Amino acid sequence: MSILGITHVPIVVPDQDEALAWYVDKLGFVVREDNSDPDQGYRWLTIAPQGSSGAHFILMTPQESGDEKRIGANGMCVLASDDVAADCSAFAKKGVKIMDGPNQVGWGMAAIIADRDGNPYYLVQTPS
């Protein structure tokens, strides 16, 4: 038995459609899955960066008591970029909050951005 990788990262959001629009419009993400089960009252909505074959983000509404506290409280995820400075400039023009950077660091370039609910993302660029 062995762990093969990370497939999904949940992001608790107050409204799936508003969150979806933000990630698509601001970061250029695409929908990977959008399935609803009316009997369960649950919508399975996943997104990922365009062209990514890695993990998907699950945009999910609170399901259990206390889940509301998870909105905007995700741990930092790392997003790869081929040009952090250009991405930050484009994101800022779209209203994305740039929390830090872009900064030259010992291993490349980095910045921290936040989504509409305040979840932080570490944007990194390693030398080619």
Cβ atoms of 10 and 64 within 8 Å: the answer is no
Please write the tens of the pLDDT for every residue from 25-60.
Answer: 999 999 999 998 767 778 999 999 999 888 999 999
Residue 31, Cβ density class (10 Å: 0-12 exposed, 13-18 middle, ≥19 buried):
middle
Q: What is the pTM of this model?
A: 0.91
Give the whole-angstrom CA distance, residue 86 versus residue 81: 9
Across the 128 residues of the chain, what is the mean pLDDT of every consecutive 10-residue run?
A: 90 97 97 84 92 93 92 94 97 97 95 97 92
Cβ atoms of 89 and 98 within 8 Å: the answer is no
Catalogue all structural domains in the chain, each as residue range(s) with its CATH number: 1-63 (3.10.180.10), 72-128 (3.10.180.10)
